[in-house]
């Protein structure tokens, strides 16, 4: 499984040279919440959804053999993120997409350090990503959408119908951190900023996103 996942990441991102003996393939998932600029409204648009991430990262170093101390490991790695969710509370506007990215990871372990002599293992990273998002809008039963009829006229239709989807280009930067729980589980958080540019002649919009993840090395 680890060999297959490593191969997928290397092929998709062209990062085979960064894979070394200490690398780990990490699969993680969790909820995401974002705010996106909405030119037609006073308040930003709320996005809620979920994501699945496959990343090739530097392995977290083992504890130092000394009584106290730190160990560090860093490197450039790659990731693939698949995500989807809703852009309104009624679930009538949905999105799904995928992004690929590069990230610089700094992993560490510490034994009996600080005022409380805490031991722990974890890391943090900086990431840059690009991808495509497919958004689908729906007209609800109370919509005043005008729908052309077969005779060439138009009429108000109360049926729920799917509108033409938009494929949007997206790019983002993010900073995240994670801690190791046990031998393989990772609990992490991430904050980022992103921009979405429509495939049509519409100015890109900017926003912010927060993610919480639970993952494990494969």
Give pLDDT, residue 133: 86
**What phi and psi, each to the nearest 5 degrees, are found at residue 116?**
-95, 5
> Which residues of the chain have a pLDDT value below 70?
1-22, 62-67, 88-92, 112-118, 137-165, 198-202
With H, G, I as helix, E, B as strand and everything else as coil, classify residue 118: strand
Cβ neighbours of 152 (radius 10 Å): 6
pLDDT digits (tens, 9 = 90+) for 168-188: 889 999 999 999 898 889 999
Angle at 25 between CA 22 and CA 28, to 5 degrees: 140
Alpha-helical runs (H) found in 58-199: none
Give pLDDT, residue 16: 39
Give pLDDT, residue 71: 81
CA 110, chain centre distance (Å):
28
**Confidence (pTM):** 0.73
Give the residue from 58, 49, 68 showing the smallest Cα distance to 21.
58
Give pLDDT, residue 198: 61
Tokens encoding 111: 């034994």
Rounded-to-integer distance, Cα 118 and Cα 183, Å: 17
Rounded-to-integer distance, Cα 43 and Cα 55, Å: 34
Domains of the chain, CATH where assigned = 2-217 (2.40.160.20)
Give pLDDT, residue 177: 96
Residues 6+ apart with CB under 8 A from 103: 55, 57, 76, 77, 78, 79, 125, 126, 127, 128
Give pLDDT, residue 131: 94
């Amino acid at each position: 499984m680890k060999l297959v996942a490593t191969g997928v990441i290397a092929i998709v991102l062209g990062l085979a040279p960064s894979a070394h003996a200490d690398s780990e393939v990490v699969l993680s998932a969790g909820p995401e919440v974002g705010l996106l600029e909405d030119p037609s409204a006073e308040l930003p648009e709320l996005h809620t959804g979920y994501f699945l991430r496959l990343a090739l990262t530097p392995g977290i170093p083992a504890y130092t053999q000394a009584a106290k101390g730190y160990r560090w490991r860093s490197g450039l790695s790659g990731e693939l993120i698949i995500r989807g969710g809703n852009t309104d509370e009624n679930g009538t506007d949905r999105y799904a997409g995928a992004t690929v990215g590069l990230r610089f990871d700094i992993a560490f372990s510490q034994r009996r350090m600080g005022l409380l002599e805490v031991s722990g293992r974890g890391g943090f990273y900086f990431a840059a990503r690009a991808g495509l998002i497919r958004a689908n809008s729906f007209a609800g039963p109370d919509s005043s959408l005008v729908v052309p009829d077969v005779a060439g006229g138009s009429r108000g239709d109360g049926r729920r119908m799917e509108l033409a989807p938009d494929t949007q280009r997206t790019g983002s930067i993010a900073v995240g951190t994670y801690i190791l729980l046990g031998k393989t589980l990772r609990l992490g958080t991430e904050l980022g900023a992103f921009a979405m540019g429509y495939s049509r002649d519409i100015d890109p919009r900017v926003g912010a996103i927060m993610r919480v993840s639970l993952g494990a090395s494969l």
